[in-house]
Structure 1
Amino acid sequence: MTQSSSCEISIALPAYQEEENLRLLLPRISIAMDGIGKSYEILVIDTIEPLDDTKAVCAAYGCRYLTRIGGNSFGDAVRTGIQNARGNKIIFMDADGSHAPEFIEKLYAHQADADLVIASRYVEHGYTENSKILTLMSRSLNLTYRLVLGVQCHDLSNSFRLYDAAQLKILKLSCNNFDIVEEILLKLARNKRSLKIIEVPFTFKKRMFGKSKRNLFLFIFTYIYTLLRLRFFV
């Protein structure tokens, strides 16, 4: 893991009471990155006031521990990660175990061929372990976003992605919930009309420990609100 001011890859994990999961994930991420053979850093973006021993876990595994800037929302964590990342490429992934670290190599394998590489549940050979109702909601959401926003992508809502840091850092992002994932995609596409996206088939796992931080009703409301705002006002 690099200790310099720059590196090839930044792995950023927004975390909200994910101590148990991080104890298992961080060493797996390090093993995966060592296998790629590029300089890297791992950033864990915690809440403003720590709610568990995430900081100690990061210290034990040599990761950069950050607290969110501006607030405790998921959007604040993403913006903090983008702002502080030192890598030429930035990979965002969940800290709950739903994104397998071993898949990072498959994302990075396409880094020279695309502006954005997405771990996709909804292309051929992709899969999700979520319940049927959640899968139906997610597929409907992705189809609606794709049609309304005109972004040619099957899985707009999975946050497990590899970005070009230079393209990501110039974006002005305002969403505070999980809809920031779609906001990023839309604004990348608007900034670069020839934006090339590669979707790699991926299996989405259920979280390992703890409870999901997603509130279903808030999830639905914010995505509808964001769809209208991104389509007509941004």
Structure 2
Amino acid sequence: MEHNNKYEVTVLLPAYNEEGVIGRTVEKIRALHPDFEILVVDDGSTDNTIEEAMAAGANVWPHPYNIGNGAAIKTGLRCAQGEWVLMMDADGQHQPEDIARLLEHKDRFDMVVGARTRQSETSTHRDLANWFYNKFATYVTKFPIEDLTSGFRLVRLSVARQFIYLLPNTFSYPSTLTMGYLRSGRSVKYVPIQTKARTGKSKIKLLRDGTRFFLIITKIATLFSPFRVFLPASFVLFLLGICYYGYTFMTQGRFTNMSALLLNSAIIIFMIGLVSEQINQMRYDRVE
């Protein structure tokens, strides 16, 4: 089958102040896959990231200022010339040798994700946070999520472009993309990989970004499967209302305002969830 794409695969690397490692990363990819397009999207770096990437042979698309990791991915999806796009971090965590392992599954799955194993060089607090996110996403999508936040993933460009309008400009684009694919009935494959400790200082701050990321994950959950969030909340309030009414009826022989508030809140949240589910379904008419 003929394709209009110039390359079979584009390796997309979003980069921000990665001058110390970007050159070596690009050179490794070129040595292993000389026929692939290597596209570096520089997100407003203030060092020599652009020069190092170009010297190593990558195509570079610069942002005029720092917008965000997710914004760099969106730019890359718009500019990529490959039929398939393999996204990976530019900070040395992901190994170019693992690219071939993801490509083995490209003809059977819509998205192939490198899932970090316990042998990966990651911090304990981040492992704990990822475990929580994976469990929460598994509940929302009804699909076993092994690594929700992995930035090492392979997608067909024509399909991924349909989800650009959903992707945020922040680090949470992998979560949004994964849940978007699963919500639209597309297949996802996880391949175990081992990552190395990043070169340089992490751009993610635990307290600031951890709290923000939890809110983002909750927002993503309500975006893709509203009832999976609203229904439990409604049920808990309804149960509390019934129990409190039973307690006040036995002790005071009356129906209190608090019982009415809890039951009304349960009904309101249920109806909001129902409306959100309908809006969510209409929004997906935009995706084939």
After TM superposition, the score normalised by the length of structure 1 is: 0.87
**Is 1:175 matched up with 2:171?**
no
Secondary structure of the 2:126 match is helix
Alignment: residue pair count = 220
Question: Partner residue of 2:136?
Answer: 144
List runs of 5+ in structure 2 lacking aligned partners: 225-288
Displacement of 1:225 after TM fit?
1.6
| Whole-angstrom distance in 1 between the partners of 2:63 and 2:161 | 16
Deviations 1:11-50 (Å, cap 9, x if unpaired)? 011101001101211110111213xxxx3211111123x4
Displacement of 1:176 after TM fit?
2.3
User: Is contact 2:134-2:146 (8 Å) kept?
Assistant: yes
Deviations 1:160-188 (Å, cap 9, x if unpaired)? 00111111011113422211110011112
| Whole-angstrom distance in 2 between the partners of 1:27 and 1:207 | 17
Query: Following superposition of structure 1 onto structure 2, how do residues 67-216 of structure 1 map, counting pairs within 5 Å?
Result: 67-68=62-63, 72-122=67-117, 127-171=119-163, 172-191=165-184, 193=185, 195-208=186-199, 210-216=200-206
List runs of 5+ in structure 1 lacking aligned partners: none
| Whole-angstrom distance in 2 between the partners of 1:71 and 1:5 | 29
| Whole-angstrom distance in 2 between the partners of 1:28 and 1:108 | 17
Question: Partner residue of 1:46?
Answer: 42
Q: Percent identity?
A: 27
* One-letter amino acid of the counterpart of residue 177, structure 2: I
After TM superposition, the score normalised by the length of structure 2 is: 0.71
User: Is contact 1:69-1:76 (8 Å) kept?
Assistant: no
Secondary structure of the 1:29 match is helix
| Whole-angstrom distance in 2 between the partners of 1:222 and 1:102 | 33
Between structure 1 and structure 2, the one with the greater Rg is 2
Higher relative contact order (CA 8 A, sep 6+): 1
* One-letter amino acid of the counterpart of residue 15, structure 1: A
| Whole-angstrom distance in 1 between the partners of 2:157 and 2:72 | 16
Secondary structure of the 1:217 match is helix
Secondary structure of the 1:20 match is coil
